[in-house]
Amino acid sequence: MEPFQENASSSNGKPKRYDVHSLISKPIRTSSCTIPNELLEFDYSYGYDCKRYFNLCKVDENVLVFASGNLIHFFHVGTRTVTTRRSSTGGGIGCITTNPSEEFSHLTVGENGTNPPIIIYQYPEMTVVGLLTGGTTGGYSRIDYTVDGKLLIAQGIEPDYMLTVWNWAEGEIVLRCKSFSNDVINVMFSPSVPGHITTCGLGHIKFWKMSHTFTGLKLQGELGRFGKTEISDIVGILPLPDEKVLSGCQWGNVLVWEAGLIKLEVCRKGRKSCHEGPITQLHMRAGEVMTAGLDGRIKIWFWETVELADPPDDDRFVEIEPIMEFRIGADPHHHSELMCLVGKAGDYEWYAQDGNGGIWLCDLTPAHHTEPPQQLLKCHAGPIVAVQASPVSSHVATLGEDGMLCVYDYAKRELLLSHRFQCAGRTMLWLPPTLDPTGAILVLGFSDGFLRAVALNLHDGHLSYPENRVNLIQLLKSHAQPITALALNGRETILVSGAEDRTIFVHRCVRGTPHVTIEPIGLVYTPSAVTSLDWKPGHAAVALVGCRHGQLLEVELPETPVDYTTISYHLRHVEIKQLTFQSVKSEIKRNLRIADIERRRQEKRARKLQTLETMRREDPRVEINEEAFLADSDADDEELEPLYIPKVPSAILWARYTDEDTLWLSMGGYDAGYVYEYGFDDEDPISCTPIPEAEDTELTCYLQE
């Protein structure tokens, strides 16, 4: 690859100064937006994108940094508190790292978005000392430095997957080329062999050299050949001083690479895997190799055994046992997932990023009795599927796909309690105090079809459950497939759940002591999986049910048990009205296109008429065929695309009644980005309101003044 040069210095040769405040993104508002900026004010962040590899670094002895969404998080170990800073583009943060040289106290952030920058901050002042642009078009997945901190390498994500080497102090791109045609997870300069680089990711590993040729400096890459070994995704890599490279693999062994080939595969005795899952990080110290994996274990290996081994050519395995092994996390049902390790001080204390929800401090001292791992931060492992605020106190509950229920005290900015269920969460409802005076009852819906009612012991003496903070008080098997929606009617007499098994189940809410109980009434079948539930205003128990394939039902439900459900819970005698959404987005786009063509045609005709008038004014005797002169402005030379109707109808994300007794619908998939207004007896929408700058964005919720 030919070297690039982009000078980021000012014209007088002095380092460029950056306006720090201009590099903090602001809320995105359209010109027609009526919502004031001050309506929402950011307060605190409890999130951690712990499933992202290498999303942890240390900028100070007691300050860790990680990224989540659009925020850089600074985690203060001593106080267990978080401060944040927004990204510059608003497109999110791809990766973070620090400069390894003691000369520089730099935090480096690779952002996501359109042509995103890499920003180098001076810590703790957070002044910008470098702004690197032109490395990629979509975002960054990994950044690394040379040992002396002078060169920076950045790996881009799709669509270009560009690998860029920078002289960051000068703001110059030294070398740049496409790394691979698929996701690249890790990139690393060799700490001991100058100019050697290793990249790896989905189904590949690649070895690079920065070589001086007669045409200049070039970046030459060689793709690793797996040979007889099964092709594997690779996350953890470690370049060695003798130019060999160690890597992990999906089945948990260590691969030794030399000259682009697998020289050895290291496993445990009896051909057992070194780890029960992918190895994410390798580190060498004093002749020992440390490995960390998604099985939650850190293992130490005496590497001289491997270096002295000489297995036969037809069976290149070396079997050894670890000399030490550490298990991170004490939960017997959920082991930790070590996404990366960051050294704390010396060789034996490490911070560990846990993909199963948190950050640990690990003592790896080679002794019989080490300090057990200490969890510094606990969070959800993956997406949060439901959020509910307490109706009586400063608490908010979150339910995750990981089955974790977390309750935060947002006044104190702390995680108050957490409990992990053995099933993925899907939806949640916090019961109002008018139904249960304790104000501490949550109803949770799970992917196993169970409803679980829990009582939260929010403070000492709150409930009569002194032994537990989260107490399961009721368990109901209402559905055969994942529960997707919950709704309590206005009179608080029935609780309705909807699920992927194409049913809604009606439960009776019975007030009592010490808490409310939920009793089954019956179920109603729906045309497709349930996606949303709401209620018709002014009616006691008329439910509005949105379905996955565009059907909307209005169902009048019983509030008390009926006498014909002794054999089956099927509620056969309920009144159901149905509306089926018809996709009109393609027609809307075509009509907009036709209107745009007509507008341009009229503009062209007006310009020609003006030209014609000017010609006649300049030469009154000229004879011009006006019809022929204007003919080409009426020509329809643009071909319209055919109307498109999705083969699988779009899902209803939410539906609600308006004050005019019409319906508003928000759709998923192809039909997203509009709010459609319907009358229940209408086949076509009354109106279709586009959401500015979000014509293809799914609107999953709304806030009504």
The rounded distance, in Å, linking the Cα atoms of 225 and 239 is 17
**Shortest CA distance to 586 belongs to which of 640, 549, 547, 638?**
640
H or E element: which one contains 587? Answer: helix 585-618
Q: Are 339 and 333 in contact (CB under 8 A)?
A: no
Segment 204-231, tens digit of pLDDT: 999 999 988 888 889 999 999 999 999 9
CA atoms of 139 and 136, how far apart (whole Å): 6
Q: How many helices (H) and strands (E) does the chain have?
A: 3, 49
Over residues 383-404, the mean pLDDT reads 96
The residue count of the chain comes to 705
Cβ atoms of 106 and 136 within 8 Å: the answer is: no
Name the token pair of 352. Answer: 């560990």
Q: What is the mean pLDDT of residues 561-577?
A: 90
pLDDT tens-digit readout, 86-124:
999 999 999 999 999 999 999 999 999 999 999 999 999
What average pLDDT does this structure show over 499-527? 95
Q: CA end-to-end span of the chain, whole Å?
A: 57
* Joined tokens for residue 678: 């319907």
Point out which residues pair with 688 in neighbouring strands.
676
Query: Which architecture, in CATH terms, is 382-460+468-477?
Result: Beta Barrel (2.40)
Q: Side chain identity at 546, as an amino acid letter? A: G
> Tokens 């070297």 identify what position?
3
Q: What percent of the chain has pLDDT over 70?
A: 95
pLDDT of residue 632: 65
pTM of the predicted structure, to 2 decimals: 0.89
Note the pLDDT of residue 595: 87
What is the rounded CA–CA span in Å between residue 57 and residue 351? 9
- Placement of tokens 């990224």 in the chain: 67
| pLDDT given at position 571 | 95
Residue 468 has pLDDT above 80, yes or no: no
**In angstroms, what CA-CA distances link 346 with 256, 291, 354, 370?**
27, 17, 21, 15
For residue 273, how many C-alpha atoms fall within 13 Å in the half-sphere facing its CB? 16
Q: Are strands 288-293 and 384-389 parallel, antiparallel or unpaired?
A: unpaired
Answer left, alpha or beta for residue 129, where phi above 0 means left and psi between -120 and 50 means alpha. alpha
3 state SS of 37: helix
Residue 328: partners with Cβ closer than 8 Å, 6 or more residues away: 296, 297, 298, 335, 336, 338, 352, 354, 360, 362, 373
The CA-based dihedral angle spanning residues 587, 591, 597, 598, taken in that order and rounded to the nearest 10 degrees? 150
Predicted local confidence at residue 609, as pLDDT: 85
Residues 612-646 have pLDDT tens digits of 888 888 888 777 777 777 776 555 566 788 889 99
255: closest CA among 208, 205, 313, 191? Answer: 205
27 pLDDT band, cuts 50/70/90, is confident
Q: What is the pLDDT of residue 607?
A: 86
Give alpha helix (H) positions in 70-119: none
Task: Considering only residues 64 and 457, tell me which one the structure prediction assigns the higher pLDDT.
Answer: 64
- Which segments within 286-383 are labelled E, that is strand? 288-293, 297-302, 317-319, 324-327, 338-345, 349-354, 358-363, 374-378
Q: Kindly list the domain boundaries of the chain, sorted by start residue.
A: 382-460+468-477, 481-575, 581-597+640-704
Q: Decide: 423 and 448 in contact? Cβ < 8 Å.
A: yes
Q: What is the rounded distance in angstroms from the CA atom of residue 693 to the CA atom of residue 134?
A: 25
Chain centroid to Cα 421, Å, comes to 22
Is the pLDDT confidence value at 658 over 70?
Answer: yes
pLDDT digits (tens, 9 = 90+) for 416-461: 999 999 999 999 999 999 999 989 999 999 999 999 999 998 876 5
| 229 torsion bin: left (phi>0), alpha (psi -120 to 50), beta (else) | beta
Reduced to 3 states (helix: H, G, I; strand: E, B; else coil), residue 616 is helix
Neighbours of 539 (CB within 10 A): 15
What one-character-per-residue DSSP string does 359-401 give?
Answer: EEEEE--SSSSPPPPEEEEE--SS-EEEEEE-SSSSEEEEEET
Strands ordered across the beta sheet of 204-213: 184-189, 196-201, 204-213, 216-223
The Cα 275–Cα 298 span in angstroms is: 9
Least confident of 54-63, 176-185, 484-493, 598-607: 598-607
Would you call 94 exposed, middle or buried from its count of C-beta atoms within 10 A (0-12, 13-18, 19+)?
Answer: buried
